[in-house]
Structure formats: structure tokens, C-alpha cells
Structure 1
């Protein structure tokens, strides 16, 4: 028996279960792309696949509806692949293990892929629905979770519709009409090393922070594992002596880091006691927002090991302390919405350097440049090498939108409730697509999807049904 049999809408969850069998981490999208093409061919749809594996499936209008508006449905095929530390899941080969608990659909110790697999499933179900008479195009893009390259690279002239419904939002009853742009900075902090002998090695592991989406959840005061580990090492240095061996934390540039690890060496007989005292104080400090924070300490003797010079260690600590992370500014027009932020996402120790990756977001280019300057000042102080990526564009609010107006009207009629209009801090592909398709009218909607980019990600089943029915009525209302 299929795991999702009996869930409604049946065809949506049928397709979701099928695509959950196909690995689709960013940059590993050929298999899912080919699957979508084969689906389109079975339905006798016009199919298009470009060299980036973007897919367009086009269902022509029914006779008599040739002059009706053409609607584009859009989502991305890749997913963020995060898992619990004790999970053996291989995202390159293994299907997602789906779990249904009442109204919740989740995965077994991994991200679910509801972001954005639910868009694919809804779009495929809508293409099968013969009650829709106008032309419908399903656009499914690649690498949204890392660089939006699929959307940015889609050639002009391929899409025929003039209204696009993006299905990558995560809150039912909200229509998104604008989003932030962003860039990434890749930092290299040079280090020199020396040999340490006959010491004790201490491995400090920080885990079980909430993590989350570095755009939509950056305003929730969740702990950043890289920042917290830096705080621990800074406090420890003030009370004891140790050699700094290695540091790591985070795994995705668009996820708030949930875990970090540092390795140090020392002959001090008070180090263990000091580590335990400091970790307890830090746990108490963050208890309100991170009640499950967990520190583990492993101790082992060593013969010899390479340590990072004290000078370079101090440069790293200075950088971690001074580099901002979290909310930078709030929007003046919408004080409850983040205007700009950054996420100190990934830290890794390499042979001759410490690598740091920070993702920056802003709905205003000028404010983004100011945040870049703030970060650049810190990096110059510690002698780091760095490079900013090309980034992705913001999606600017549109004063006049026929699609937005119709979306509000249909929602009110269907559910007797007002739909909320929102500009969000996360990046959406509408901004990227508008570079080559400036005349398309965009909105973004979606069902309730929580804790995305973490192994706790879950999708609300009844919300999925309501949003699907709403999208169906919205498409029909346009002709």
C-alpha cells in the first residue's frame, strides 16, 4: 500500500509520493527533470527541457478558449537536504521516507522536500484536470535553493502566459507580492600551524538548535551555532590555556546553522571544569529561544597534532564576534517585515585556512550595499580574503496587479475571509524570472509548511487541500 493513499487531494499526494522517491538535491536534478518530461509526454503536453534541466509543460486551451488568458504555474524541483546526525539517509540515492501523523506529513529524520515538491505535485494534478479550459503552463526550475540559476537562466520568449502563480510560499491565506534579493560572501581566513605534542584533545559539539530558513525565520531570535561556538571559545580563552585545532559548523548557506564542533588541545587540569561551566552558562542564556541546545564533550589523549597559531585563532574569534548575523534592518513601510539580514551560515577548517560563508538578503539594493560594507570592514580588519557572489534580484512590489486583485477576490468568495498581502524577506524566483519576463504579473501562494530546511520540516495536509482547491478556482476565474 502506498504511504499517502487516502489523503486529499488524491492526485496531489499521489504525485508528491512519486517525486519523493527521486533524489533531487540542488545540482542533482537530471532524474527529476527527466521524470517531469516523461509525465508531460504521457499527457500529450508540449514539453520543453533546457540545458539547465528547467522544464516547461504546456497544456493547450480547450476548443473555444483560445483567447482566454494563459496561466503559468511555477515551482522548483530541487530541495534542501538536511538530516539528523543519527540518520543514515543518503540524499544521492535514497527515497524520502514519508510519515503521516494525523494532519501532518513529514519525513524520517530528514527534510521532507515539501519545499518545493508540493508545487510540482499541485502543478501536475492541475495539468491532469480537464475542468480547466484555458491554456496552462507548468514551469519547474532548478537550483533555486542555492543560486536561483534555473530561473535566472530561463531564456526569454519561452513562456506564453502573462500571469504566473508561484507555489513556493509557506503560509495559507497569504498572497506574497514581493521578496528580497540576496548575495553570498565566501571568506578565506589564512592560517599557519604548529605541532602540539603529548596533550589531551577536547572535542566540543554543539547540537539541537532549531535552525531554520535563513530568510523567513531569521527574525525569530534562533541561535546561530557558529556564533555560539565562537562565544564559548572566547570565554574559555579568558580563563584557561589551550591550543586551537579545528572548527566547523553549518552545512547550507540558506539554513541557520543548527550545530557546530570545535577541537582543542591542552595540558591544563582545569579545562574540563571550565568548559562544563561555560557551556552551562551559555545554555541558560539561550534557554528561552533554544530550549533543546545540547553540548557534548569528548576527551582523548593524543601523541601529536597540528594546531592553529594563537595570532590566527584571535583573528578568527575577532571575526566571529564582529561579523553580524540576523536582522539588520526592518522595512519602513511594513515595520513587521525584515528589510535586510545576514546569516553566518558555514564554517570549515581547511589545511591552510578557515572558510566562512555568509548569505545576505535585502529588499533594497542600497541597504544591501551598506550591509556588504559593514561585513567588508570586519574582514579587512582581520586580513581575510573574500569574494561576493553575483547574487539574485529582489522582486519589487507592483502597484497594479490584475492577478493579485483576482486572488484576493476569489479567496474571499471561497473562504469568506480576507487574504493577507505580504512582502517577504526570503528570496523567491519571481524576481529572477522577471529579469527576462518583465511583463508577467506575479503572485506567490502555498499551503502551511513549517520548519523548512530542517529535519523537522512538515506539511499540513488539510491546508494542502484548501490551497489546491483555491488555486483551481483562481485559474478558472481568470477566463
Structure 2
């Protein structure tokens, strides 16, 4: 394999990141990356453990004379969100990530990079090899974080030996995260019936190139929701012309703000000019914060087309309009931080229903319950069938934390800057892990990553070096 990252510092970190990038690791497809970590552990004579969920623990024993110092756990997840541009032929089940270096930026070719959270694995592996670290070090690599935190939630008690855990899944340098939101998913079905409308003209409208982004980290930023915008188009078109509703889709990940949507309509009238006019109207409306938003119209002929009823169409439009998406409440203690939110994430047409997936987040379980009740009322009013997932727990702020205090102290010493202490709205595995490990002291840090969960994802190289050096010094300060 030709090394694209050779010579980039820290060399060990980027060596392993490039190795990891060769291995497909979509959520629920982590066996290969898990086995790769096991082989790394065996090769380096580490205590190595792999459970039935493919979680891996690698443990380096303390250097002689340092056995009594507290052990440190480094933690990240193996899986990545697999998003790509519409014109990409990348197959996430078998193709390696095609890495591109542009100055200080590392990105991928028309796909997500997987810095979230491949950089944690790469840093952890490099730190296990770092002979300057004398205390016991463990690397915990978990599975299915991006969909349900399944690996972290299933990790059995008494496997980890360390008393402090540094999660490496944060995305902004200079911030130590000490709390995060919990969340739940709603799976919704709107029943539909169909009728044969015979031969007709078909209109396929595609909405593309919205910014999208992480439904926790970017939910407070002004970003268009493709499912909402497509319904706005449909409502305007219904007032201007006659058509039949065939199918609709939008979004692909429950934890990503939907970037794309598509609808298939049928009409015996020529409605292309009206469609184009409304598309332009919407582009003008959202130009301020979605400048790249685009529409594509394809026209074809169809026979024996099965269309939904007018009542089904109207129910769908009303339901999507009624479902809120975005910030629900802000934290009272930190008014600039989102407390709770909802993301109208996925729409897809099935044989007998339109399926909708909504993700809810909150750092306060009581507020999450209130949001669930609010959403239930909306969905009941629209005649929808729905169920809630089991969800994942919040990570609550800890009043006393030696690790947090040391993290702030070391950062100030290294860079003469104050480290920002933050509770975030995105979900982190610390909350899930604390269920079986309530006595571990948790923090989360990481290098600058931007636009994660989108094909525009980037990792800053020099930030990665600084954060790696910082973590080394932080660990050393603990013994």
C-alpha cells in the first residue's frame, strides 16, 4: 500500500489512522476492524480481550515501580457514519477510504473521512506504544456507537481496571467535555393506500447539497432540513397544480441532519414550469445559509402507476409540518448550550406506509420525557403509528473530578490558555459506560474535526499533533 500520510506528525498516529482507513467499518460491520485491533494487541504483547459484541480492550501493564499509580483508560469507537456524495461509487462494505491531504487538512474523496472516531483508535494505539508513559494504560474500542451506543451499553462490569477514562471522541481542540445528552428514537409509520392511475407522466424532483451535519453538534446552527424543505415544495405545488403522490424519501442516518430528499409525482398536465418556478423560489429563500442547495427534475413516462390517495398525501404533508425539528430547549446553567432537540431525520416510502424516523436528545431525562410526550401528542393527532427505541443515557456533570481539574491545569501549563469546560448536546459513550462503571472519572477531548457525518468531514493535522502531545502530558501528570 502506498502511504499517503507518511511523514505527517505524529507519525505513529497517522500511520495507524491510514491502516484503519483501509478497513470498512460501517456500524454493525465492525468484525474486521475489531479483529485488526486484536492482532495489534497480540503483536505488542498486550493483555487483549474481545467480547461477543466485538468490543476490544487492550491493556499495557504499568512499568515496574509504577504499579500503584491509577491506571488510565483511552476510549473511542470503531464504527463510522458512512455518507457519500450522490456521484460517488464508493462501496462502504468493501472499499477503503480514499484519503486526501490538502495542506493542514485531511479529508476523503467524496465520502465521510471516519475521523469520527478513527482518530481515537489511532491515538490510542500510538499511546500504547509510547514508552514514556509508565502507568497502566488501556484502550477500550467499542462498536455501533453511531447508531445505538450498543457496544458501550453492553460492556460487562469489572473488565476495565483503570480509574480514569479519557474519551477521544470530541471534535474541538481546547475544550474538555464533562457531560453529554442522552437520546431516543421514534419510528413512525403513516399507513397509505394506493390506486392505479394508468398511464401518466412522472416527475422526479431531487433536492441535494444541503450542508447537513451532526444532529447533536450542529442542530443549533442554521441548516436546512431536506425533509422539511421538500414538504414546503409539495405544499406550494399542490396549490398551483394537480398531481398524484407516488413516493418520497429523505435522509439516511438518524444522527445526521438530512442533506437530500426525493419525491416522485405523476400528472397528466404539464407541470414542469411550475416545479421549476417553485424550486427557484425555495433556492432564493434559503440562499443565505444553504447557498449550494440544488434541485434536479427528471421527466419520464409510466404505465400502471400506483399512486397514494389525496388524503394520504395531505396527512403526510401535515405530519411533516407538525413535527418540530431543531432546538427544543436551552440549558439554564449554560444558556448557550442546547438542552434538548429533535431531528426529523429519515423519510422512506414502504409498500403500505411512509416510514419516518425522528431522533430526540436531552441532557436532562425529565425534559426528554416532556419532549417524548409532546411528540406523542403530535403523532397521535395525525393518526400515525409509532414506537420509541430503548434510547441511551445522558452523561451527567460530576461536581468533583480530579481528571477534569488536571486536564484544565495541564492545558494551561502547555499552551498558556484556559481550557473551556463544556457539557455538549451530542451523545457520547461516557454516559453509557458509566452505567456499569459508575466510579470511573470521565472526560472527553479531541482534535478539530469539522462537518462530521457528511462527505465534507475534515480533520486538522496540526490540531491532532497538539492534542496527542497534550494527552501524553495529561497522562504523565496523573502519576
User: Which bracket does the TM-score occupy, shorter chain normalised?
Assistant: over 0.9
Question: Partner residue of 1:390?
Answer: 390
Q: Is the partner of 1:220 in helix, strand or coil?
A: coil
TM-score by length of 1: 0.99
Please list the CA deviations of residues 429-462 of structure 1 after superposition, one character each: whole Å capped at 9, or x if unmatched: 0000000000000000000000000001010000
Superposition deviation, residue 3 in structure 1: 0.4
Superposition deviation, residue 83 in structure 1: 0.4
Where structure 2 has 5 or more consecutive residues not aligned to the other structure, the ranges are none
Question: Partner residue of 1:229?
Answer: 230
Please list the CA deviations of residues 280-317 of structure 1 after superposition, one character each: whole Å capped at 9, or x if unmatched: 11111111110000011111122220001111111110
Matches of 1:277 and 1:364, distance apart in 2: 44
Question: Following superposition of structure 1 onto structure 2, how do residues 244-259 of structure 1 map, counting pairs within 5 Å?
Answer: 244-259=245-260
Please list the CA deviations of residues 217-238 of structure 1 after superposition, one character each: whole Å capped at 9, or x if unmatched: 0011100000100111011111
Question: Partner residue of 1:311?
Answer: 311
Question: Following superposition of structure 1 onto structure 2, how do residues 21-420 of structure 1 map, counting pairs within 5 Å?
Answer: 21-269=22-270, 271-420=271-420
Q: Is the partner of 2:148 in helix, strand or coil?
A: coil
Matches of 2:190 and 2:60, distance apart in 1: 52
Deviating more after overlay: 417-426 vs 278-287 = 278-287
Structure 1 residue ranges, 4+ long, deviating more than 4 angstroms after superposition: none
Q: Is the partner of 2:421 in helix, strand or coil?
A: strand
Please list the CA deviations of residues 377-403 of structure 1 after superposition, one character each: whole Å capped at 9, or x if unmatched: 121112111010000000000111000
Q: Is the partner of 1:197 in helix, strand or coil?
A: coil
Superposition deviation, residue 95 in structure 1: 0.5
Matches of 1:430 and 1:367, distance apart in 2: 20
Matches of 2:209 and 2:430, distance apart in 1: 33
Q: Is the partner of 1:147 in helix, strand or coil?
A: coil
Q: CA RMSD in A?
A: 0.7
Superposition deviation, residue 198 in structure 1: 2.5
Question: Partner residue of 1:471?
Answer: 471
Matches of 1:253 and 1:406, distance apart in 2: 35
Matches of 2:370 and 2:298, distance apart in 1: 42
Deviating more after overlay: 281-290 vs 48-57 = 281-290
How many residue pairs align between the two structures?
478
Please list the CA deviations of residues 72-116 of structure 1 after superposition, one character each: whole Å capped at 9, or x if unmatched: 000000000000001010100010000000000000100000000
Please list the CA deviations of residues 180-221 of structure 1 after superposition, one character each: whole Å capped at 9, or x if unmatched: 000000001100000112321100000000000000000111
Matches of 2:160 and 2:275, distance apart in 1: 59
TM-score by length of 2: 0.99
Q: Is the partner of 2:357 in helix, strand or coil?
A: strand
Matches of 1:385 and 1:302, distance apart in 2: 31
Matches of 2:387 and 2:29, distance apart in 1: 25
